[in-house]
Chain A
Amino acid sequence: MTTRRSRWLASAAALVAMTAFATACGSDDSASGSDDEEITLRVNLFGKFGYADLYKQYEDENPNITIVETAEGDLGAYNTQLQQRIAAGTGAGDIVAIEEGQAVNFLQAADQFVNLQDHGANDLKDQFLPWKFEGATTADGSTTIGLGTDVGGMAMCYRRDLFEEAGLPTDREQVAALWPTWDDYIATGEKYKAAMGDESAFMDSSTNTYNSILMQNAEYTYFDRDDTLVIDSNPAVKDAWDTAVAISDDGLTAKLKAFSPEWNAGFKNGDFATIACPAWMTGYIKDQSGEENAGNWDITTVPGGSGNWGGSWLAVPTQSEHQEEAIELIKFLTSADGQLAAFEAEGNLPSNPTLYDDPALQGATNEYFSDAPVGQIFVEGAAALEPVYLGAQNQPVRDAVENALRSVENGQRSSEEAWDTAVSDAEKAAQS
C-alpha cells in the first residue's frame, strides 16, 4: 500500500516538475556548431527591399543556409514590433532593418546589436556615403550597428492617363516644367481639379506632401542635433505645415490615409493623379496599382529640388543565434552588387556612391513607369544628398503632426487648433 502511494507521490511530483519545465523552457531549439549544419536565417524587414533574387543567389552559394524573410507593410507597426522584440531580447530575427527615423533610437541601445566594427565594417566605409555610415554609428565612433541599404532621393510620380484626361501635358519633361516650386505644383493641382471635379483628386493626402517638403529643406526637423525640441521654432517645419494646410484647404487631396486599404485601392482606382515618391516608394506603387496600370504611371522631378526621405540599414541583433552567418549575409546584401540588384528589383536608391557613376544605374529605366529613366532621375543629386537629423523621439512627434494634419484635411479641426495640439503632443513626447 505504502509503495503504491509513494509511486503516486512520485508521479505527481514528476507531473508538477514537467509542467513547470515545459512552461519555463517553451520551445527552445537553439543550435550552434559546425559549418555544414543547416542554418535558417530570419530576415525581418518592412516595405519592399527587393531581395528575393539575392536570397536565391546566396542560398545557391551557401547550400547549408536557408533564408526566410518576413516583411511588414506598415513602418509604424514594424517599428513597434522591433522595439518590443529588442527590448524583450527575443523574436527579432537574425537580421533586422532599421529605418532612418529609428536609427538614433536604436543607437541608444547599441549593446543590443552586434558591433560591426568588430567584423571589418571599417574596411567597408568607402562603400557607403560618409553620413550613411555615420548614421548607424554611435557618437563616440566606437560602435556601428548597421550597414546601409538605400537612401532617400525624391521624385514625383504621376498618372499620364489622368493628366491627359485633365488636359495637362503628359511628357515628363513638360510635367517637370509645370512645377519648379510647390506653389506651381498647387497651381497645377487647381487646373487639374477644375477639369476633373470629384472624379479624381490631384494628390493622395496632405501628409505625404508635407513629409516631402519637410525632408527637402531641413537639416533637422523636430529636434535639433542636441535633441532639443524645436518644432515651434524651426521654420522648415512651419513652412511645410503651411503648404500642406494650403493644399488641403484647396481640396486638392483625396483625403486617403497612407498605408490604409483605401489608400492602397486608390492607386488602382486612379483616385489621385500624383504622389510624392521617394525612390523606395516606386516598388510599392507598382505593387498596389497592378498590371492593369502598367504604363499609366510616370516619374518626374519633385517641386523644390531634391531631398532626402527614407532609407535604411541592416543590423544583426545580439539575440541572433547565428551572428556570424547573419553578418556575412548583410555584407552580401549591402555590397555594391546587392544594392544594385535591389535597385533593379524595387527601385531603392543605393547608398553606395561608387554606383552613382555606374552605367547600370545611370542608364536604368523602369518599364512599369513608362520607361522613366529612374537611374538619372534619382541619381541626380544623390551624391549631394544631405542627411536629415531625426531625434530619438522623432516617431511620436511625427505621428502627432501627421494626425493633426489629417484632422485639418478631414475638416475635424481648424489648422490653428490642430497645430497647437501637434506642438503640445510633441512637448509631451519630448519630455519622456
Chain B
Amino acid sequence: MTLRDRLARLDIAGAPYLFIAPFFILFGIFGLFPLGYTLWVSLHDWSLLAGDQGFVGLANYSELLGDDYFWNSLLNTFAIFLIATIPQILMALGLAQVLNTSLRAITFWRMGVVLPIVTSVAAVGIIFSMIFARDFGLANWLLSLVGVDPIAWNQERLPSWIAIATMVDWRWTGYNALILLAALQAVPKELYESARLDGAGAVRQWWSITIPMLRPTLVFVVTVATIGGIQLFTEPLLFNPGANAITGGELRQFQTSTMYLVEEAFTGQRFGYASTIAWALFIVIVLVSLINSVIVRRIRSVD
C-alpha cells in the first residue's frame, strides 16, 4: 500500500472519531478530570489556603459517616426534593394536558410557562424571601385572613422546606410541562381515535395510552429533577439572607448538602473534607437515579 492509500484509509476510519472528539475532549476536561481530582483531594487533609497537608486515606469518609450535620443536610435535601418534585411533576403533567388542547393564543400560553426559568434565580430568592417574611410577608398576611397565626417561615423546619419547595416549583414546573407537552404531541392521534371507538373514556385513555407513551420522557424529567433537587443550593441560600447564610438557618433547619459542602470548603477551609462530601453526593445521585429509573420503568408500558 502506498502512503497515500494508508492516509486515505486512516482518513475514512479516523474522521468520524475526530468529528465526535470535541465532546469527549470537553467532557474529559470539565467532567472526568474534576471528578478524578476531587477524589484525589478527598483522600487528603487539604486546607483551602495552606494546601495539601498530607494523605489521610479514607479518614475523611469515615468522619463523614459519623457527621450529624452531613446527615442533617441530606435529610433536608431529600425532604425538600420530595416536597418539591412530586407536585411539580403532577402539575407539569396537568399543564401539559391543558396546553395540548386547542386554546386561543396557544403559543402565548406555551411561552408563558417557560418564563419563570428566564428570571434570575437571585430575583426569585429575594421575592420569595419577601413573600415568606415573618413580619410583613404576603404568605403570613394571607394566612391571617383565615385566622392562622403568623409563621416564622425561615425558623421552623417544615415551613422552611415548604417555602423553598415553592420556589423550586415556581421556576421549574413550566419547563417540565413544555418537555411533557412535546412528548404528548408525539402520541399518534389514531391511538386515541381507536380507543374511543372501543369505548374507552378519558381516564382510561390517559392511563392506557398517554402515560405509557410518556414513559421515556417521564424518566428524563424525573432524572433531571432529581439531579437538580439533590444539588439544590441557591434557593435555600437566598432564603436565609444576611450573616451566616450558608448554615441554612440557626439550627441548620434547611441547610442542603451542597450548602454544607460549601460551608466546609470555604468557611471551615477544609477542602479535602468538602471533596469527600462532593463524592458522597455523586454516589447518592447515582443511587437515586437508579432507583428512579426502576420505579418509572414499572409504570405500565404499552401493551
Question: Chain A: residues with CB nearer than 8 A to chain B?
Answer: 2, 5-6, 8-9, 12-13, 15-16, 19-20, 23-24, 74-77, 80, 83-84, 86-87, 105-106, 108-109, 112, 207, 257-263, 393, 395-396, 399, 402-404, 406-407, 410, 412-413, 429, 432
Contacts and interface: CB of A to CB of B under 8 A. Distances in A.
Contacts of A106: 49
A259 B251 contact: no
Interface string B1-27: 000100110011011001101100110
A261 B130 contact: yes
B100 interface: no
B273 interface: yes
B15 A84 contact: no
Contacts of B262: 80
18 contacts: A8-B15, A9-B18, A16-B22, A19-B22, A23-B29, A74-B242, A76-B243, A76-B267, A80-B267, A83-B49, A84-B48, A87-B48, A108-B50, A261-B126, A261-B241, A399-B243, A403-B244, A413-B251
Contacts of B135: 262
A86 B49 contact: yes
A429 to B, nearest CB: 6
Contacts, number: 121
B219 to A, nearest CB: 31
A259 B19 contact: no
B72 interface: no
A432 B271 CA distance: 10
A258 B243 CA distance: 6
Contacts of A87: 48-49, 271
A77 B267 CA distance: 10
A256 to B, nearest CB: 9
Given A5-B8, A9-B14, A77 B49 contact: no
A16 B21 contact: yes
Contacts of A16: 18, 21-22, 25
A407 B156 CA distance: 11
Contacts of A395: 267
Nearest to B249: A403
B243 A108 contact: no
Given A83-B48, A106-B49, A261-B133, 15 more contacts: A5-B8, A9-B11, A80-B246, A83-B49, A84-B266, A86-B49, A109-B50, A257-B243, A261-B130, A396-B268, A403-B250, A407-B250, A410-B152, A410-B155, A432-B268
Among the interface residues A8, A407, A412, which one has the most CB atoms of the partner chain B within 10 A?
A412
Contacts of B126: 261
A20 B23 CA distance: 10
